[in-house]
């Protein structure tokens, strides 16, 4: 497997995580400050090239009912632009509660205040990417689409 980049796309920042070369684990990489669609896509493209990424996974913030609200539509549009400008797969994955999970994990290890705000988007991207990597393993739900039950393309 080649490297996979995970993104947690928000209005202000994009949290970024990167898989190990074997595609087993996700590590936090960086946070990109949003400056505009074209510049944001270019920043992601630069990371893709620098790290030899072959797939980009973007967290889709569905509502608790599993529906696309305004933020999910923004993220889907961003993902569409990535697809147009990158010559590789850009996958969407349900990211409900990843920011909450990331915040709780940081709280449990005692990370607070500004430091916590600085890494929460990276942690959310790491959780999104790890979920994708786990599902992509043999026997995972990406290998058996019936067990996942959703297609976000």
- pTM of this prediction? 0.81
Phi, psi of 80 (to 5 degrees): -60, -40
pLDDT at residue 119, as a whole number: 81
- Radius of gyration for the alpha carbons in the chain, expressed in angstroms and rounded: 15
- The pLDDT tens digits for 13-26 are 999 999 999 999 99
- The pLDDT tens digits for 83-142 are 999 989 999 999 875 655 655 665 665 655 556 566 888 889 999 999 999 988 776 666
pLDDT at residue 131, as a whole number: 92
The class that CATH gives domain 3-148 is alpha beta
CB 30 within 8 A of CB 118: no
């Amino acid at each position: 497997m080649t490297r996979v980049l995970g993104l947690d796309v928000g209005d202000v920042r994009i949290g970024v995580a990167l898989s190990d070369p074997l595609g087993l684990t996700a590590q936090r990489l960086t946070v990109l400050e949003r400056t505009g669609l074209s510049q944001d896509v270019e920043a992601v493209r630069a990371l893709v090239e620098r790290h030899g990424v072959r797939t980009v996974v973007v967290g889709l913030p569905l509502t608790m009912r599993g529906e696309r609200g305004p933020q999910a539509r923004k993220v889907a549009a961003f993902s569409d632009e990535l697809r147009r400008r990158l010559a590789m797969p850009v996958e969407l994955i349900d990211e409900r509660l990843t920011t909450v999970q990331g915040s709780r994990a940081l709280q449990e290890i005692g990370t607070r205040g500004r430091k916590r705000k600085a890494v929460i988007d990276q942690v959310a991207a790491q959780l999104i990417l790890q979920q994708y990597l786990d599902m992509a393993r043999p026997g995972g739900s990406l290998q058996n689409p019936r067990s996942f039950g959703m297609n976000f393309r």
